[in-house]
Every structure is written in C-alpha cells, then in structure tokens.
Structure 1
C-alpha cells in the first residue's frame, strides 16, 4: 500500500515538473525580453553584428526554444541546472545562497499566520455576534481584499519611515553580508516581511476556523459536556482544539502555492534576498537557466505542501472536505 502511494506521488510529481518546465519555456519563447540585450547592457551600441552573434553562440541564445529546452533537459538529467547570466555563477549556487532566506521567511510567516489566524477564528466563534466577532470578521474581509504589495508599503511607511522602529528593507544592514550579522539583527530585518506575508494568508484560516468551531460548539457531545458542568476552558481543550486545529493545519498546508506567491511580492517590496526576489530578477533579465531552476524548486516545494495536506486529511480527517 505504501509503495503504491509513493509510486503515484512520484508519478504526479514528475508529470507536474514536466508540464511546469514546458509551459515555462513556452512563456519564455513569447516573452518580449531579449536576454542578449540585457547581458550586453550599455555596450549594446559598441558591439558589431559579428560580435553579437558570437556572444549569442557562446551563451546558447542563437538556438531555437525547442533546442534550448532539449539541451537544458539533458543537462538537468545529469544534475546540472545551468549557468546564470544575471549572477554569473551556477544556478545551483544561486539557489543554495538564497533559498535559506526564503525558507526562513516563509516558515516564520506560515507559523505566525497559523497561530494568529486560528486564535482569531476561535475567539470570533466563542464570542459569536459580539463586538469582537464583528471586529475580527470585518478585519478579516478587509485583509482578504487588500493587495499584498499595498499592505507591505503601508507597513514600511508606518513602522520604518514614521516610527523608525524597524528597518526599511533587506535581510541585513546595507553593505553587510547577511551571513555575518548577528541573529538579532537578522530578526529585525525579518519582522516586516514576515508580518506582511502572514497577513496575506490570514483570512482563510480565520474564516475556516470560525466555521469549524461553530459546528463543533453545536454538536451533541459539546452540549452534553456543558450539561455536566464542564468549563469553557475544558471544552476548548478537549473538544475544540482536537476537532478544529487539525483542519486548519491541513488547510494551511494546502496553501503553499499562495505562500510562495506572496513571498515573491514581499521579497520584491522589501528587497529581501530570497528566491522570490531572485525569480523576479531572472524574469526581467531573461535568465532562462535561473528561471527554470527556481521554477523546479518552487514546483517541488508546492507539491510537498499539498502532499502533506493530503496525507493529514486522509489519516486524520477521513471523509471530510475542506472549504477554502
């Protein structure tokens, strides 16, 4: 049984990777961005046609998109992700340098969003129709309809510009290597991007938790516990947490795609040196190898989150459907 499950998951992952890379190359083929012009930069007018052709041949840009896809696939089968034109180093090295920052940002924001979202949803359900319920629900809908980049800019204006409590951008002070700064300094630079990213994924957790808690509160076993004098804390501990926290966790694991999409915007606005910011730079510069490498990592990351959500749902929530 486990072998069958692992085999199916592997087959789905491989099919997903093939489709993702294929569509990515098609989008690159119709993109108006010319990688050679970006690579040449200010020297565009000083190079002759022969020099441009020779440079294109050296970079492999004189080939059709089909030939480039075949060559890239062959190198990928050998474990080679290619060479980044933008950063002038192997793609694998770029990913190794920047993926830990993205992982730290997404992990912190994912945890913060889950804890705060579940707590607010629990309070809204326990205080149904009260001022707290109306305040939390309206705030949730406002966050759900607010563009993430606008929210990030508001956070920068309030906490970095006006109050000067937190840094404006980056993962370390300007001119310093993030790997050589104290952890406290790194945390200070992480706070605003983490809050911005967490707020963008907060609404589904709050609304889903509120709905689930209300269902549990209306169940027979909770009414039975109340009739026998069980306190509100006891009901929360023995009934609500067990029946509402797991669905919230499964739902949050299934939102890895939205998490990475939000991290792209957050890293771009805050100039945070992670994979999201690197993906934008790769797209703007037409860096095919780097763009495809990050696309592969992203697809595996999202597939892992969805697979974990499916496993938790199958083992802990058999027969239940999650609403998002």
Structure 2
C-alpha cells in the first residue's frame, strides 16, 4: 500500500512538472516577444524593458524555467499588468463562484445519476428501466449551453412574464451571510452543469450493476436467503464504486470546460469567465495562472480518487 501511495504521489508530481514545462514553452519560448505581450500593446519601451527584467527574460532558458517553476511552487502566479493586480488575487476573487458551481454540480449529478441507474438495473425491462433509459437519452443529447438557455427561458423568463419569480436569472451571491440566497442563485447553473453528467452516471451505474448482479457470488448470496435489497445494496452496489470513482476522476478534468460555458450563460463571475476575458484581452499572465491552477486541481482530484481505491478495493492494500 505504501508503495502504491508513493508511486501515485510521484506520478502526480511528474505530471505537474511536465505541465509547467509545457506552459513555459508555449508562452515564453514560442516565437514572439513575451515581454511585449505581457506588458500590453500600449506599453512604452521602458515598461517593456522593466517587464523583461522582472520576468528574467534576459537570462538563459534553463534559468528562466527554474525561476518560473520556483515562483509557481511558492504560489506566485505572476502579475497582471493589464489589471494592475497579482494573478493570484484575481483568481482568488473568482474562486468561490467556480468552487460553489462545481462542487454543487458534482453532488447533484451523483445524487441523480446513481439512484436512477440502480433503479433501472434492479428491474431491467420494466417501466422504471424505460424511464431511466429515457432520462439517459435526453441527458446525453443536450449540450450544456442549450440546456442553460432553455432553463433560463422556462424557469425564469416565462414565470416572470406570468408575474412571479421562480428562479433568478443568474449571478453569484456569497455563501455568507445568507446560504439560502446563495443556493437559490445557483440552482439553475447546478442543474445545467449536472444534467448531462447525471445521465452518463445513470447509464454507467446500470451497466456495471447488471454485470455485477450476474456474478457467482451474487447468486450465492441469493441462495443463502438474503433479501434482494441486501443483495443489491450490500454486495452489488459496493462493487461498482471503483469504476464510478474512475469515471469521476476523468469527469473532474472535463468539469472546468462545462463550468466555463455555464458561467457565461448565467453570468457567474468565476474562473471560467476570467479565462475567457483574459484570452480576449491577451492577458498572458492570467491565462498562465488559470492553466497552472486548473492543472493542479485536476491532478489533486485524480490523486484523491487513487487513494479512494485503497478504501474501495482491499486488494490494493496488499
């Protein structure tokens, strides 16, 4: 088990170093004057020279990379000359909205998808199974931006035309001092981001559970007289947690892309909208900071999933 943990931590560190090398090469080694891009088109030659000195662009490439890596490890993601703020401060101000959106969406799609998949697998071919498969078909067919626009129209615009407000159109409200208002403003974004993933998890849960329920040990449990509920939930469902954890780790990597679209649709001032604005204004330090931070959280999330395997699969402990 110790060897497994050490190998996963080492691999995660290697991935982060490779990511930093890729980002450094893309933004600082590629053709062009990075100092001019960072300083902005309206910067004077003196300002460009100062930026070049601050970034150490007059030094050898290896020294530049080691300095870049050292600053990243210390939490220094650079300085946005366009916004006149450190990149870490810009990202920190947007972080609560994105974390609230992503964490809420993950909880929602797990609470929706897994029970629907279990319901379908327990009675294959039944009405419940057909309803579950219909949910899956609809869920995987809707792009998130289409679903977001439809949710805004039917759950905000139409009720407002009728004279009452069911949900707000968007915008982020802090968790404190009013958690209820915070959740109310995030209900539509949560649903938009979670709906497609919930359908995928329902299909995955159904397929995995049907396969598990055909195993010999399940037939043995039934032969011993255990109730169907205990057979399904105590023996069957427990066995599908490992593949679901694998899928969750992969989905976290794609979550930022979906969050970016959802933030744009609902006007949430999160990291996704910050990334879009930075690309439009060519604010290179912010782009670098967002990429590095997103890569860090993706690697950490997958590392946590790897550690969950130790709890879910006893074979790894030996």
Report whether the alignment pairs 1:124 with 2:120.
yes
* Distance in 2 (alpha carbons) for counterparts of 1:143 and 1:39: 45
Q: Deviations over 1:217-262 (max 9, x none)?
A: 2233433444455433233332233223453244323421022222
Partner of 1:12: 11
Residue of structure 2 aligned with 1:53, choices 45, 48, 54: 45
| Distance change >3 Å, CA 285–CA 161, structure 1 → 2 | same
CA contact (8 A) 2:98 2:259 kept: yes
Q: Which residue of 2 aligns with 1:144?
A: 140
1:31, 1:197 → 2: CA distance?
38
Which piece of structure 1 moves more, 69-78 or 160-169? 69-78
Do the aligned partners of residues 85 and 159 (structure 1) sit closer, same or farther apart at CA in structure 2, a change above 3 Å counting?
A: farther
1:37-48 alignment, distance < 5 Å:
none
Q: Deviations over 1:181-216 (max 9, x none)?
A: 522111111111111111132233112210121123
CA, structure 1 residues 253+38, in 2 after alignment: closer, same or farther (shift >3 Å)? closer
Q: Distance in 2 between matches of 1:226 and 1:9?
A: 38
- Unpaired runs of at least 5, structure 1: 173-177
Gaps of 5+ in 2: 160-164
Query: Residues 113 and 199 of structure 2 are in contact (CA less than 8 Å); yes or no, is this contact kept in structure 1?
Result: yes
- Structure 1 residues 86 and 196: CA distance shift in structure 2, 3 A: farther
Query: Are 1:90 and 2:86 matched, yes or no?
Result: yes
Q: Partners in 2 of 1:211 and 1:96 — Cα distance?
A: 40
Task: Tell me: CA distance 1:234–1:94, structure 2 relative to 1, closer, same or farther (3 Å).
Answer: same
Distance of 1:275 and 1:31 partners within structure 2: 28
* 1:208 equivalent in structure 2: 204
Query: Does the C-alpha gap of structure 1 residues 76 and 215 become closer, same or farther in structure 2, counting only changes over 3 Å?
Result: closer
2:5–2:307 CA contact under 8 A, matched in 1: no
1:21, 1:292 within 8 Å by CA — same for their partners in 2? no
Aligned to 1:308: 304
- Equivalences for 1:109-120 in 2 at 5 Å? 109-120=105-116
Equivalents in 2 of 1:156, 1:10: separation in Å? Answer: 43
Aligned length: 305
Work out whether residues 118 and 209 of structure 1, in 8 Å CA contact, stay in contact via their aligned partners in 2.
Answer: yes
Q: How does 1:62-211 map to 2 (within 5 A)?
A: 70=65, 72-73=68-69, 75-76=71-72, 78-163=74-159, 164-172=165-173, 178=174, 182-211=178-207
C-alpha distance in structure 1 between counterparts of 2:266 and 2:23, whole Å: 26
SS at match of 1:255: helix
Aligned 8 A contact 2:78 2:87 in 1: yes
**Cα 1:283–1:24, aligned 2, differ >3 Å: closer, same or farther?**
farther
Indicate conservation of the 8 Å contact 2:35/2:51, yes or no: no
Offset, 1:7: 4.5
More displaced stretch, 10-19 vs 289-298: 10-19
| Cα offset, 1:311, TM superposition | 2.8
2:22 corresponds in structure 1 to 23
